[in-house]
Amino acid sequence: MGIDIFLAIVGLVVACAATWFIIRYFLMPSGSTDAKQGQERNDDKEPARDEWTNMGRRIDGLEDEYHHLVRLAIISTILTAPVLILDLFGRFAPDALPTWLTSPWIQAILITPVLFHCGRGIILDGWSAIQHRRCTPNLLATLATGIAYLYSLATCVAGSLLPEGSRSPYFDVVGVVITLLLLARILEVRTHSSLARSYEMLARTRPGSGRVLDTTELQGLDTDSGDESWSGLTGHQVAQDDIATESLLLVRQGERLADDGEVVAGFATIDEKELTGAEAPLRYGPGDHVLASTKLVEGNLIIKVEASGKDTYVSRLMQVIPDALTGRSPAVHTIDRKTHTAIAWILIATVWTLMAWLLFGPDPNLAHAVASAFCVLAVACPTAATVTVPLAFRTALNTGIQNGVLFTSPRAMSNLSRVAAVAVDDSALADQSDSSDGAQVYEESLIRAATHLRSLKVMSLVLDGTRAETDKASGHSISARIERAARVAGVDMLVTQLSDTRKAYCLERLIHDLGKHTGDAPSDGIEDTSHTPSPDRLVALAADSHNQPEAMKRAQVHISFGTRPGRESTSDTEPDLILRNGDLDGIVRAIELSQATKRIVKENLTWSTVYNIAALIVASGVLYPLFGWMLNPMIAPAAAAIAAILPMANTRRLHHLHHLRRRWRGLAQIDTDHLPTVAARRPQIIVDSQWNPDNPSTH
């Protein structure tokens, strides 16, 4: 009895010391600082974005990594399968095998290369995490496989010294853990490579130069035909980055556009599926805006360059993708910190599980203690939490690119999922680049967007700051065109005669009103309010940030449209969403895709939390005194692998989203006369009485 009390006291002291060490090493401020520095060092191993201009190397690296992991997984499977078979025979038919095959040394010979060759990367990552005081999923895997492997070696070397019933090795479990971790890693790498291939496709479609025309070549030219009369046009080739805005480019059938621009002559059918996800080639003519890298299927065009080089829509796409592959958002850092803390507590739970089974467990208590400690380490699966946010963003970004929607960051996607009101500025609604026929108002696009927003219960507003001067070419003012478009579309509110300053003030009032959780928009003058804006009801502004810098600063979500003529931006605000010119319904596609992504992330995080709590309760043996339940060490890694793979498979749904794609395609194809906007309530029209174009003090 005295020996038992002494051993119990020693065990408790050891457990307390181990707990203190884990808290001191991983959770104390110094440990957290080292963990952060270690994470930064680990992130520094990733190339800077500027080094990713040639993504071919990255894509090749991902493909090489994928094939390397597949080879390791095959080797691991081949070597682990015989060990599983031997273990099954040893448990259920021990007399069916020769004696030499039942020796644990056979299993040790087969599993040792699995652990140290196939699992080398996992072990090195786990060891690096220990050195840098970081708690990562690979640390758990390293400790779990290390404990199981060392205990199994002990059964080989000194099995006779172990208590009866504690002499069974766990080599089979080590092999299963390594194999399943490799399979999970293969799925993750495959998802990353799909986004990298999108970048490769965009890079491959970019022409290196364009055919620039001199204005003298257009004299006497029939600009409406675009056929035989253009055969004499030659121009001269200019590198894409050297083409200046306002230049005239000749693009012939079968060629790709070098820059974004406006069609000034000719008609052509253009395939832009790679950039906007359009199902079929679209017809373009004078006044239409076209995008770089799209291909002329039929016809010839002369375009006036509006954006070249890094300012083109496709270049913006290619700037975001490397960030998505290498960057780490604040949300990812937050989850990493929470995972770090959770894994540290899992290590503490492992220590006390081992000690509790040694002191109070039934015979053979050593075997039960080792098995339960292993199960706690192996069954915990924080992988679902650590990969779900970056994986979801990369998958949604890829899907968005295929549908003409470009998110600029994970934070931007999160903000768009919480948008409760969308304000469309006149700079996004009216295209004033065509001075000959007056400004073009994207009426049909506004009708589709307003209908789509109404179905999502998102408020729609139009902010009009154009002057009510009649255009000589059309006989109507731009303001009148915008008002007509807003009335036909049935937006919730139209605010007219706004100066730039008043637009910003109007947005601020709307933000505060939504913060009070009211669905009503402001209907009178701007009033001060002390209410804090709601983080779940954001206001998005769709505008040309080059023309509306002050309003963009006030808005909570910033939406920019492709390219606009005129180039230095006076705004320091980076857009959250980039769409092509006139694609107002792209706002709603982005909101729906963001909401779907947020929903999947929540599902994955909820699954991870519930699974880990339930799994740790069962694995630690808390239910053994009540129900006699113990987790089989073979089931623990399988359960953890399933827990990791299910969120990845769930995230892959963002690649498809068939119901959303059908909706988007149907809304794009339906005649706007058939949309339910005529019966919708008419917009509330507000004329800003404080706006006076002749009084600068009101601007």
Distance of alpha carbon 478 from the chain centroid: 39
pLDDT tens digits along 350-392:
899 888 888 887 877 877 888 888 888 878 777 677 777 788 8
Interatomic CA distance for residues 77 and 80, integer angstroms? 5
Residue 239 lies in a domain: yes
**In this structure, is residue 60 part of a structural domain?**
no
Q: What pLDDT band is residue 70 in, cutting at 50, 70 and 90?
A: very high
- Residue 120 inside a domain? The answer is no
Across the range 500-520, mean pLDDT stands at 75
Among candidate residues 594, 615, 638, the one where a domain is terminated:
594
What pLDDT score was predicted for residue 111?
92
Do residues 299 and 400 share a domain?
Answer: no
**Tokens for 622?**
């808390």
Which pLDDT value is given to residue 53? Answer: 47
Q: Measured between alpha carbons, how far is 200 from 54 in angstroms, rounded to an integer?
A: 9
Do 303 and 423 share a domain, yes or no?
A: no
How far apart are the C-alpha atoms of 78 and 94, rounded to whole Å?
Answer: 22
Grade residue 568 by pLDDT with cuts at 50, 70 and 90. Answer: very low
Please give the average per-residue pLDDT across 299-321, as a whole number. Answer: 83
Averaging pLDDT over each range in 15-24, 161-170, 544-553, 630-639, which range is the top one? 15-24
314 pLDDT more than 80: yes
Instruction: Say if 670 falls within a structural domain.
Output: no
Structure tokens at 500: 């730039």
Model pTM score: 0.75
Could you give the CA distance from residue 273 to residue 293 in angstroms, rounded to a whole number? 11
pLDDT band at 547 (very low <50, low <70, confident <90, very high): low
Could you give the 3-state DSSP secondary structure of residue 251?
strand
Render pLDDT for 218-232 as a digit per residue (tens, 0 to 9).
Answer: 666 665 555 556 767
- Asked if 582 and 430 touch (Cβ cutoff 8 Å), the reply is no
Question: Of the ranges 33-42, 75-84, 511-520, 630-639, which one carries the lowest mean pLDDT score?
Answer: 33-42
Look at residue 562 and give its three-state secondary structure: coil
User: How many CA atoms lie within 13 Å of 1's alpha carbon, on the beta-carbon side?
Assistant: 0
Which candidate, 419, 421, 428, places its Cα nearest to that of 459?
421
Residues 286 and 405 in one domain: no
Joined together, the tokens standing for residue 631 give 């987790």
Chain Cα centroid distance, residue 261: 30
Residue 203 or residue 266, greater confidence: 266
**Lowest mean pLDDT segment, chosen from 90-99, 145-154, 330-339, 539-548:** 90-99
Q: Which of 314, 319, 329 is nearest to 393 (CA)?
A: 329
Q: Residue range 405-428: average pLDDT?
A: 87
Burial class (CB in 10 A: 0-12, 13-18, 19+), 494: buried
pLDDT at residue 291 is higher than 50 = yes
Q: In this structure, what are the phi and psi dihedrals at residue 581, rounded to the nearest 5 degrees? A: -55, 130
Residue-wise pLDDT tens digits, 159-205: 777 666 667 788 888 888 888 888 878 877 887 777 777 777 777 88
Do 277 and 420 sit in the same domain of this protein?
A: no
DSSP code for 116 = I
Confidence (pLDDT) at 120: 93
Give a yes or no: residue 551 inside a domain.
yes
The count of structural domains within the chain is: 2
Contact (CB, 8 A) for 341 and 27: yes
Considering the chain, what is the average pLDDT of its residues?
A: 77
Above 90 in pLDDT, residue 75?
A: yes
Q: What is the CATH number of the domain that holds 419?
A: 3.40.50.1000
d(CA 6, CA 3): 5
pLDDT at 525: 38
The pLDDT > 90 percentage for the chain reads 8
Indicate the residue among 555, 579, 594 that finishes a domain.
594
Tokens of 649: 């498979």
Q: Is residue 76 part of a domain?
A: no
Q: Dihedral (C-alpha) 337, 341, 346, 352: value to the nearest 10 degrees?
A: 170
Tokens of 699: 């601007």
Residue 532 scores a pLDDT above 70: no
In angstroms, the CA 676 to CA 212 distance is 46
Indicate the pLDDT class of residue 410, thresholds 50, 70 and 90. confident
Q: How many CA atoms, within 13 angstroms, populate the side-chain half-sphere of residue 82? A: 15
Residue 422 has a pLDDT of 93
- Bridge partners of residue 606, in order along the sequence: none
Three-state DSSP class for 548? coil
Position 261 in a domain: yes
Query: What does the alpha-carbon distance between residue 195 and residue 200 come to, in Å, rounded to a whole number?
Result: 9
Q: How confident is the model at residue 87 (pLDDT cuts 50, 70, 90)?
A: confident
DSSP labels for 271-305? E-HHHH--SS-EEE-TT-EE-TT-EEEEE-EEEEE
DSSP assignments along 365-433, one per residue:
HHHHHHHHHHHHHHH--THHHHHHHHHHHHHHHHHHHHTT-EE--HHHHHHHTTEEEEEEEHHHHEE--
Of the residues 554, 575, 594, the one at which a domain ends: 594
C-alpha angle 467-468-473 in degrees, rounded to nearest 5:
100
**Confidence class for position 529, pLDDT limits 50, 70, 90:** very low
- Answer yes or no: do 422 and 541 share one domain: yes
| Arithmetic mean of pLDDT, 622-649 | 79
Q: Quick count: other Cβ atoms within 10 Å of Cβ 695?
A: 10
| pLDDT at 208 (0 to 100) | 83
Residues 437-484 pLDDT 10s: 556 788 888 888 888 888 888 999 998 887 665 555 555 678 888 888
Domain that holds residue 537: 395-468+476-517+532-594
pLDDT for the residue 69 = 93
The CATH number linked to 283 is: 2.70.150.10
- 514 near 534, Cβ under 8 Å? yes
Within a domain: 604: no
Over its C-alpha atoms, the chain yields an Rg (Å, rounded) of: 32
- Report how far apart, in Å, the C-alpha atoms of 506 and of each of 465, 491, 684 are: 12, 16, 15
The confidence score (pLDDT) of residue 432 equals: 56
Q: Quick one: pLDDT band at residue 695, thresholds 50, 70, 90?
A: very low
| Confidence band of 678 (pLDDT split at 50, 70, 90) | very low
> pLDDT tens digit string along 484-493?
888 888 888 8
Do both 427 and 558 map to the same domain? yes
At 43, list the tokens. 């992130």
Q: CA–CA separation, 286 vs 289, rounded Å?
A: 9
